[in-house]
Structure 1
Amino acid sequence: MSRSSAGARPRPRRKGAGLLLDLGSHLIDQAVILHGEVESVYAELFAHTVVAEDDFFLACQHSSGVISHVMATSVNGAPGPRARVMGSTGAYVIGRQFDEVSAFSEFESSGDTVGWVVRGETREPGPAVPPSDQSRFYRAVAAALVADDPQAAMPVDPRDAVHVLAVIDAARTSHRARRVVGVLTPGEAP
């Protein structure tokens, strides 16, 4: 069954930037932090309920040689684990966050986000992920803006964000061309 017809019920089309730019940028950023910059990407993108993507799959070839699969959907018929990071010997699964609904109560606990380390049929509690304090980041940005060298003082290298956007651009090109596309981050030699 194709992703575009797998139980998707008709929904009114809304305007918006889409899941690829929203959550996708964070997922790609985490893959880059874990495995290095993305050299090439293959993508399947769908827009079921919004003008932009609300369902996507990316296969990313990283500079480290790792191939990561990054995917998200907002049109899944059953809410499941909030996030999964999967490897060849285990996975880290986040069941839900705060008051979210989850069809997987065995991954839930009261209150905080709970992570589980899952290896085959065994499961053990992983580190809980506390809510982040985003105000620290914005205070660091404000301090950087008045520093002698604002670029060097930024809490995050802006080039990292540019690279993630280059991956998103390459993903859209890949989807249209139906092939693997190289990622060229602006400011780099081709």
Structure 2
Amino acid sequence: SDRHWAAPKVELMMTLQTIRNQLPIKSDGDTFQTPSGWERREEAGEVGEGEGEGEGQRLGHNGSRFFWVETSPLEGTDPRRVTSRSELEDLLEADAAAEGRVWLGQLVKDGWELRSRAVNRALTQIISGLVVLGLVKAVTPEKSGKTATCYIAANKYATGVPFPKIKVTRPNAAPEVQEEEELCDLEKERLANMKRNQELLRQLGLA
């Protein structure tokens, strides 16, 4: 066959590290937004000479200090309180581990808030879930020739048929038909004149 087919498209295989490098991860715990179930508050306080922000602590107006308090504590327990956002992140990671979960951080408008030490565990958890759902395929080193397991989107392709062509009627379609009819009449008249002229030449012995 002389039909030319486009080169097939192959999905890109990526390692866990490659995927990580493509993500907009924000890893500075002190700048994370307040998560659900917690509230950031401010308490008045004067900063004395030689004092300033402690590790992970943030100061508000007039030397006031921010702190984070739990809004929905477990029944029969007092709300927990921390004095820095990093300390709160420590607590959230520990809570997830105690429940047998992996802390996945939180998605915000401009990125994924998750500290560096927790990224690989979170990515492994998420991608493993996508593999179970059949949305991603894991390719072992034996099959890929790579040194680490790769992942690939589990897209499915099928041979289709061309979309039907829809004839679009242009606004000036009617005038064009009329013009074609006029041309046909002129052509008929021209042929009739040529026939009469040919007959006249024959009678004169010139044809």
TM-score bracket, normalised by the shorter chain, equals under 0.3
Per residue, is there more helix in 1 or in 2? 2
TM-score normalised by structure 1 residue count? 0.19
Q: Which has the higher strand share?
A: 1
Larger Rg: 2
The alignment's TM-score, normalised by the length of structure 2, stands at: 0.18
